[in-house]
Structure formats: C-alpha cells, structure tokens
Chain A
C-alpha cells in the first residue's frame, strides 16, 4: 500500500514495475543529440495527417501501441490509462486513445503531465486498483504554436529565453511487482508538487517561471525522505531549459542543497541548443516524456543508471491569463525511479 512519508511524499512500498515504455518523435527531435534512442522518428511533421491536431493524436497512439508491444501486452491487459497533452480539452489524448478501449482518465498538468500521469498510474497499481496501468503524454510544435502563439508562417522573432515545444510523445506501462519480479525498473516514491508562483509574467520565459516550483518539490522530497542530492545518480527536470535550469541550481544552492553535479534537464537534452536554434531549449509534455521513455529508461534497464529523480515541470498559464497580465503559476511533480 502507498505510505505517506513526511508531509508531501508518498512511498510506493510495493515498488510498481515498468513493463514497457516507448517514445515517438518528429524530425527536429530525431536530429537532436538523443536521436538514436527513440523508438520511432517521423521525418514528416504532419505524420501524413490533414491537421496538426490529428498528427499529435497519432503520436500518442503510436507511443502507447509501441509500449504495449514492447511489454508484450494487448490493450485489453491494461486496466486504466492516464493521459494528457497541451491542447484545449486535451484532444490529442482523447482522439489519440479513443480506439484503445481502455478505461481513460484525462489529465492536465501542462508540461508536468508525464510525471503527473506516471505518478497517478503508479498509485493505482500500488493500491491494487489496477493490475496494469499506462501513462502517456504528447506535444506537437505546430499544434502548440497555433494555440498559444502565432501562425507558423508569421514573421515574428523569438526571444532568447523562449523554448521550443517538442513534437514528441512518450508512454509507460506499469504493472504489479509481484507479477513481474524480474522487471528492471521500479517506482519508489512520488511527490506531487504545490502550485508555486514567484511572479514571473513573461510567457516567453517559462523556465524562469517554473524553476521555483521545481525547487519547492525537490526540497519537500529531500526534507520528507531525509535524503540529499548526492544519494541520486540523476535529478532530471522536465523542461526548465537553459534559463530555468540555471535558476533551479542557484535556488537549490541557496537552500544548501547543491544539485549541480547530478542535475540535467530534458529541455537541454532533446535539442542541440546552438545548432538547432531553439534558444533556451525544448519544452512541452512530449519533451520530458520522450527523454524519459528513451535514453533514461533504456540506460536504467541496461544497468548504467540506477537512482533517478524525474521531476516534471509545468507552467499553468493560458493565453487568456497571459493577455490579462497574470503571472505564471507553476507546478512540479517528482517520481523516484530505481533500477
């Protein structure tokens, strides 16, 4: 059964197992530094579909099918699926997964959705509410641009702090440890974050807006568990990018918990910042999902990475709130994965 440790952390004593995982990405992501690790790379960003929304739905659909295939499971073997994305009413998830015939619970945590869905899926498995549960998220550069910013062909300039929404999806299938005792990777603990708002208003600087949320959740976790950054091989934040990543390290130093030796960020790993002209790095639900479900879980399965704190970070703004001059509330959810 899940057990609360300290005020915010939930320990997963039964240690739910990762049965399968998969990542599907677009062209730009496949040309990035982690290109060789993804399960499927699409050279055509439309994925042959007639709209960007359909393309993103297909990313999710392919990710979940690949993850099921790798776990040697059918869709009917999964008791519950948790999914989310960035689009209004989470249509990439609902349209992408409608053919699966699996009980569905849509989630919205902005770019923290991979950690949020994975956390809830792990709790369902841990509590015995599901024998197998799935978590899947996606984002698509083109569908996000048209909803949050400008048309693709509009001649605007991006600011140096702006991040590039990844065209990517990732899916993880979890199962009960007793049924899969040999599974390499398991989930040990979950800390759901509190909404944090340090007054950053620039929607083109979401890394800076989200860094305090990440720091808050990390500090809660360290305080609840009595552990320190040196106890982990990797602290992987979702999409803080260059600006937010540096700010998080600075904030943690001020709190006496230096994470700089073990910290990396999915937004920095997914692209080559200079060569691919993505300014401060990658972002989007699919960014952290694709990095987790490729290089990270592959390395953990292969035994070259053992203790990982995965910290999904989300900026909980909307175009309306930004236009009304509101600051950006943020959240960060932490998952402790161990191999």
Chain B
C-alpha cells in the first residue's frame, strides 16, 4: 500500500469521532452533584435523628454504598452510568459498583476463584494506590510535625 503509517495515523484520527467533552462534563456535574446532594440529605437526616457528626457521615456513606450495590444488582446502575460517566464513577457509589459488578459477573466460576478473587479486579488498584498515597501523606505530615 502507498499510505505510510504516519499518514494513516492522521487519517484514522480524522475518521474517529472524539468524546464530546462539554456534554460529558455537564452530565458528570449533574449526576455527581445529585449523588452528593442525596448524600447530604441523608447526613442531615441522620443528624436530626440524633447521631453525632462522625456517626452521621459514616451512616451516610453506608447508605450510598448500599443503594449503589442494590441498583447494581438490579442491573440499573450501569444504565445510569452510561449517561452519568464520571458523575457516577467518582463518588463512593461508583466504588461500590466496581466491587459488586465483578462479584455478580464471576459467580459462574464459584465462590472462591470466581467471586472471591475477581471481586476487587477493578477496585483493587484504587485500594493499593489509595493506601500507598496515604502512607506517603502520613510520612510527610510526620516529618513536618518534627519541627
């Protein structure tokens, strides 16, 4: 063929429709904002029931995680995420979805090598690097407190 790899790269980029960033960002804002507002509503409700600030925050997270897990199990969450994008991915609900969905998917390989080993296939890296980052952050904080 006469077309070079370099020329083809330009052709392919031109022919491939890109992501619509404006629309995606707006949808992420709306979905993410709604989830966070819902979280705030729960927190205020738990506070009004007499839970302390820490308790209300913990119960709020647990409620959102449970809701996300239930919506994933009902095969609804992925349909919301199709429109919500980062808005449904970033909040704690997205994290719950990333654990529940492989658990459902790999049930056919059994409880140990299926659900057990595949459950954290998406959330695993978040946990690893989240923990590593908090260790580094802790070291920095410790270092500054020395002086």
Contact = CB atoms under 8 A, between A and B. Distances in A.
A161 B11 CA distance: 14
Interface residues of B, number: 38
A254 B15 contact: no
A199 B5 contact: yes
Given A51-B108, A255-B2, A199 B9 contact: yes
A332 to B, nearest CB: 13
Interface of A: 50-53, 146, 150-161, 198-200, 205, 208, 211-212, 215-216, 219, 243, 246-247, 250-251, 254-255
Top 6 A-B residue pairs of the complex, sorted by shortest distance between their CB atoms: A155-B81, A151-B105, A153-B101, A151-B101, A154-B101, A208-B12
Given A50-B108, A155-B80, A161-B17, A200 B97 contact: no
Contact of B122 (A154, A216, A246): A154
B15 A215 contact: no
A270 to B, nearest CB: 20
Interface of B: 1-3, 5, 8-9, 11-12, 15-20, 24, 72-73, 75, 77-78, 80-82, 84-85, 88-89, 94, 97-98, 100-102, 104-106, 108, 122
A151 B105 CA distance: 6
A150 B101 CA distance: 9
Contacts of A152: 78, 101, 104-105
Q: Is the interface of A mostly helix, strand, loop or mixed?
A: loop
Q: Is the interface of B mostly helix, strand, loop or mixed?
A: helix
Nearest to A160: B17
A159 B12 contact: no
B16 A153 contact: no
Contacts of B98: 154-155
Contact of A151 (B1, B94, B106): B106
A254 B108 contact: no
B85 to A, nearest CB: 5
B1 A153 contact: no
B16 A154 contact: no
B98 to A, nearest CB: 6
Contacts of A215: 1
A153 B8 CA distance: 36
Contacts of B102: 151, 154
B15 A250 contact: yes
A58 B2 CA distance: 44
Contacts of B77: 153, 155
Taking each of A198, A219, A246, A251, which has the highest tally of chain B beta carbons within 10 Å of its own beta carbon?
A198
Contacts of B24: 157
B8 A246 contact: no
A51 B105 CA distance: 10
Contact of A153 (B5, B89, B104): B104
B5 A154 contact: no
17 contacts: A53-B108, A146-B105, A151-B104, A152-B78, A153-B72, A153-B77, A153-B97, A153-B104, A155-B84, A155-B88, A155-B98, A160-B19, A200-B12, A205-B12, A208-B12, A208-B15, A243-B12
